[in-house]
Structure 1
Amino acid sequence: MFTGIVEELGTIAEVTDQGDAIRLTIEASTVLDGTVLGDSISVNGCCLTVAELGEGRWTADLMQETLDKTSLRGAAPGDRVNLERAVTVDKRLGGHIVQGHVDGVGEIVSRSPSEHWEVVEVSLPAHLARYLVDKGSITVDGVSLTVVEAGESSFTVSLIPETLARTTLGSRRPGDLVNLEADVIAKHVEKLLGAHASTHLPAHVQKDS
């Protein structure tokens, strides 16, 4: 589990194509502190397992499912990526509960700079729209953000200077793809309410359905 508070920007050093998978080697420093083989690190919001450790770098294996469902399918050497180690129980939950399980891929639609912040619009896959509400939480490329306006096909977020400087969201441009993860609490509530509603339907309706 993660919090969506990016610890550092890493750099993709190598991408090894294995046909139905790739090996991703990333240069980093902060996230390697205390990290051992088998630990989890979020890369642009995607939870990956440390398979190899080297001096100032680490390697993860990405299977086809990950390539199909995330923007990491387009990873290339030199790309900057948002990195965060899995949260420990003694840490503050500075963002929100983030699983590192990407729900869909969005696209930067527009950027509207202001003097002290920047409003960014991101396209939204249709199946995720129901989980977003104004002032709710969304994870964009591993960054915990507050939704400004939630629409049916897109949403907006306001990025402060700290976020612009310390994450890849400062350099994303219209057309760039980003990984999205909806608030897991919203997904659990939807499932629980759905089960509750079905058990309280009249008997003849339950039978017909």
Structure 2
Amino acid sequence: MFTGIVEELGEVTAVENLGDASRFRLRGPVVTEGARHGDSIAVNGVCLTVVDHGEQEFTADVMAETLNRSSLGALRAGSRVNLERPMAVGGRLGGHIVQGHVDGTGRIVERTVSENWEIVKVSLPAELTRYVVEKGSITVDGVSLTVVDAGPDYFTISLIPTTLALTTLGHKEPGDPVNLEVDVIAKYVERLLGHRAQEPEEPVK
């Protein structure tokens, strides 16, 4: 489990095409410290498994399903990425519960720049709109954020200088894709209520 608090802005150093998958080599001095084979690291909000690691770098294999359902397929050598290790037991939940399982992708629509912050408008796939609410939580490229406004096919987020400086969201331009993960609690509630609605009513005694 992750919290959506990005630990460092890393970089893709190489991408190897494996036919039905890709192997990424990524540089991240912070997240590779103490890393072992089989560990999980979130890359732009996608939970990946460490295949190999060396000094300040690690490799991860990404299958076609992940490449097709996330923005990782657009990454190239030199691309910057948000990196986060899983939360340690007993650690602080600084953001919200993030699984690293991308629900879909959106695109940066526009950026409104202010002196000390920015409002960013992001397109929202129709199948995810029911999970996004004003002042609720959403993960964008692995960053835990609060929804400012929730529209029929978009949402907006407010980015402080720290987020702009230390994550990919400070460098994304209109048209760029971003990974989206909605609040998992909303999905569980929907599933539970759906089952409840389908259950036959008990006869009145």
* TM-score interval, smaller chain: over 0.9
In the alignment, residue 118 of structure 2 is paired with which amino acid?
E
Q: Say if 2:111 is the partner of 1:107.
A: no
What is the distance in 1 between the residues matched to 2:169 and 2:9?
A: 11
Give a deviation string over 1:177-201, Cα, whole Å, max 9, x none.
Answer: 0000000000000001111111155
What is the distance in 2 between the residues matched to 1:200 and 1:113?
A: 53
Equivalent residue, structure 2, for 1:206: none
TM-score (norm 2): 0.97
Equivalent residue, structure 2, for 1:171: 171
The verdict on how the C-alpha distance between 1:41 and 1:115 changes in structure 2, with shifts beyond 3 A counting, is same
Identical pairs, percent = 62
Give a deviation string over 1:104-139, Cα, whole Å, max 9, x none.
Answer: 010000000111110000000000000010000000
Give a deviation string over 1:40-64, Cα, whole Å, max 9, x none.
Answer: 0000000000000111100000001
In the alignment, residue 27 of structure 2 is paired with which amino acid?
E
Equivalent residue, structure 1, for 2:78: 78
CA RMSD of aligned residues (A): 1.1
**Pairing of 1:3-18 with structure 2 (within 5 A):** 3-18=3-18
Task: State the shift of 1:154 in Å.
Answer: 0.3
Give a deviation string over 1:149-180, Cα, whole Å, max 9, x none.
Answer: 11110000000001001100001000000000
Equivalent residue, structure 1, for 2:158: 158
Secondary structure, in 3 states, of the residue corresponding to 1:50?
A: strand
Equivalent residue, structure 1, for 2:36: 36
Q: Say if 2:131 is the partner of 1:131.
A: yes
Secondary structure, in 3 states, of the residue corresponding to 1:129?
A: helix
Gaps spanning 5+ residues in structure 1: where? 204-209
Task: State the shift of 1:30 in Å.
Answer: 0.5
Q: Say if 2:95 is the partner of 1:95.
A: yes
Give a deviation string over 1:58-103, Cα, whole Å, max 9, x none.
Answer: 0000001001100001110000000000111121000000000000
Secondary structure, in 3 states, of the residue corresponding to 2:172?
A: coil
Q: How many residues align?
A: 203
* Contact 2:30–2:56, Cα closer than 8 Å, also in 1: no
In the alignment, residue 78 of structure 2 is paired with which amino acid?
G
Gaps spanning 5+ residues in structure 2: where? none
Secondary structure, in 3 states, of the residue corresponding to 1:186?
A: helix
In the alignment, residue 36 of structure 2 is paired with which amino acid?
V
